[in-house]
A and B are shown apart, each in its own frame.
Chain A
């Protein structure tokens, strides 16, 4: 008798199989993107997709093996797939358990810039009544440290936060003192235009490992047009500040964000070149948001979503070419999405979280003591819409804030897993729900997805990334971005 069983014992021509939960979305005519419940994905033509669902797929085909390996089906050999999917999903959902990690302190509304696209209703720089006080800051810190998150990031925003520098120093000192007992992973970021940065500021930042996040919209003329200030030297000050801050704090401690205005639309390559020239390792190509001054000055309505997508796609193509020419440079939004698509990690980017990250991913303590579910919610309130006010440091307990109906209703109603169209969408595991955007643009937390700019923009970006991913050279570049988020 042979030691081995015959080969036929191992190769069952047409095994019965069961489907695992998955969704599909058309990429183009006859081509579909499939994702399983934990976000694992593949691309299939319509015929094998129908064969899969109708149990007509041959178990000896390569497609069968691929779909089994990627947990779209299971058979007698692979019922461990259920446990694996559960484990993957648990890993993806883990950050929800950590709860709020980002705590934004609006230390002042004052600003010496007068940017027409500003999403905040800034105040002139002499009105100290728009400054946060120490009493408010102390109460906000108490709430921040009630969060169970092992990571607490305190971000100072404005206005221009450096205009209330004494309070930043106070908050950092208080937070460090509280953290002597709490032992959290505590980080600080100042979101500043850098126009007012001094050696004193940088010395303090160096001492306390504070990072800088600044704005850079592109070449000098574009940046100065977008970001007017007395002296018309916003760009010069920003660049000088970036170089100075890097010198004192290190390259990685300084990041920049750009905002797309109508003046940016035909200049994506110049904008990217500017970031490369200044030694940044990536750029976040961002559209304007429908809040604050951007609405009042009509900056938001100067281009539509389709035009921004052209801008984005051209930028992405250009960045891929830069990489293929040997210079590593990342498009940050793509990198965030790719990290969600290709790893079990959830980068925790609030706009791409479902349940929505408002409140539970980031929370905002306003200069006047009001607490907002998100920075965008704060911007809406400055325009008179208090939908996302979830408490006040003077009167609300931690429990009041995080069980506020204004927070819970928005999160529950907007949950993409049960929203119309999102619940069927194969990109849903990699996307998010944005109740603030949909409330601002369509009047409710869920929105009408077929006409939602958020949905259209993200769907197009997912599709363009998947398309690039089918090109071997592009795929190598895109994969290299994943770890950099």
Chain B
């Protein structure tokens, strides 16, 4: 497929490495500029990024790179979130423990 304004490009991720949720979050972040269609085929998460026809001089490689960085960031965020779930619950429980919100 031609890479340029009005066309689309595909960036793939290995679903054994990245979660679909991490990819979706990254796609959402880019949604001011690009629409991303996500499909899971076998162990691949294929992301078709539509390049808007009204923007000239798109650096396609830069689009791919920035999307990959976003996915890597999302993946890191998931790792933090998973590892700290218990601590987050403990901190929030402590924070709300003296608020008087709960009644006997």
Contacts and interface: CB of A to CB of B under 8 A. Distances in A.
Nearest to A83: B94
The number of chain A residues touching the other chain, given as a range, is: 20 to 34
A383 B32 CA distance: 29
A340 interface: no
Contacts of B1: none
Given A21-B84, A24-B76, A50-B76, A450 B94 contact: no
Given A24-B76, A421-B28, A82 B98 contact: no
A225 to B, nearest CB: 34
Helix, strand, loop or mixed for chain B's interface?
helix
B80 interface: yes
B99 A89 contact: no
Interface in A42-71: 49-50, 53-54
A95 to B, nearest CB: 12
B87 A450 contact: no
A222 interface: no
Nearest to A89: B95
A83 B101 CA distance: 20
Interface residues of B, number: 29
A316 B80 CA distance: 35
B67 to A, nearest CB: 13
B102 interface: no
B10 interface: no
A82 B99 CA distance: 18
B55 interface: no
Interface of A: 18-24, 26, 37-38, 49-50, 53-54, 82-83, 85-87, 89-90, 93, 97, 420-421, 424, 448, 450-451
Q: Which 6 A-B pairs have the closest CB atoms?
A: A86-B94, A450-B32, A89-B95, A21-B84, A90-B95, A21-B88
Given A21-B81, A22-B84, A87-B94, 16 more contacts: A21-B88, A22-B80, A23-B80, A24-B73, A49-B76, A53-B76, A54-B79, A82-B91, A82-B94, A86-B90, A89-B92, A90-B94, A90-B99, A420-B28, A421-B28, A450-B30
Interface of B: 25, 28-32, 73-74, 76-77, 79-81, 83-84, 87-88, 90-101
